[in-house]
Amino acid sequence: MIALIWAQDEAGLIGANGQLPWHLSADLKRFKALTSHHTVVMGRKTFAGFKRPLPQRQNIVLSHQELSLPAGVQQFHSLAELWALAAAKPDELIFVIGGAAVFAAVLPRADVLYRTLINHRFEGDTWMPAIDYDQWQLTAEQTVTADEQTPFSFSFADYQRR
């Protein structure tokens, strides 16, 4: 099964200069808890935003370009390789973690969505592709209120394709 996981602001912003425009400890902990011991798939620019491969995960970089990647990081040159992996492991979650072009390419075949919606607007340059939520069933939702450590509220929402 293919899952998309991301955080966005009210306008759908997901990135600024190859980084997240915010730091939400609770969101990072959720991301780690959900994706650890699973495969994570990302584009070249998303991988470049990390200082190293994500630990306790099989890291796959999706890019048509030939890349020099660290040991243990695999490259897929096409979506067909991702579809083949998903078919070979139908009971395992494969997490797509960005960026926008990879999300847009994979969204039509995704089975699950894990979204963090931040109740604030940030400055940036990368937006989540539009999603028709009529095709999705909300399966879980949790709201986190603002406090001393987090100056804005946000919510986690999980969706399953209808």
For residue 46, the model assigns a pLDDT of: 96
**Residues in the chain where the model's pLDDT stays below 70:** none
DSSP state of 109: G
For residue 1, the model assigns a pLDDT of: 97
CB-based contacts of 138: which residues, under 8 Å, 6+ apart?
157, 158, 159
Architecture of domain 2-161: 3-Layer(aba) Sandwich (3.40)
Domain ranges of the chain: 2-161
For residue 129, the model assigns a pLDDT of: 98
Which secondary-structure segment (H or E) carries 102? helix 100-106
CA angle 81, 114, 61 (to 5 degrees): 30
